[in-house]
Amino acid sequence: MRKLSDEALMDSYYEANKLLLEEEFIALLLEEINRRGIDVDSVRKKHLVLNREISIDS
């Protein structure tokens, strides 16, 4: 998991939650997110804004 970029890690985390994947898998992703010191809430806000902009532009 250390080879995964922060962005790819966060995308994987959001998609795993969205798709209701195994809780153990989501916990592993969250553990890595916390190990890297990534602030999930601030990234979530950016992710939501980007998704809205993409939807509006499409």
pLDDT at residue 8, rounded to an integer: 93
pTM recorded for the entire structure: 0.73
Length of the chain: 58
pLDDT at 58: 47
Note the pLDDT of residue 2.
Answer: 78
Q: What is the pLDDT of residue 40?
A: 84
Give me the half-sphere count of Cα atoms (radius 13 Å) on the Cβ side of residue 5: 3
For residues 53 and 32, give the distance between their C-alpha atoms in angstroms, rounded to a whole number. Answer: 28
Q: Where are the domains of the chain?
A: 6-57
| pLDDT for the residue 33 | 95
The type of residue at 6 is: D
Spans of the chain below 70 pLDDT: 47-58
3-class DSSP string for 10-50: HHHHHHHHHCCCCHHHHHHHHHHHHHHCCCHHHHHHHHHHH
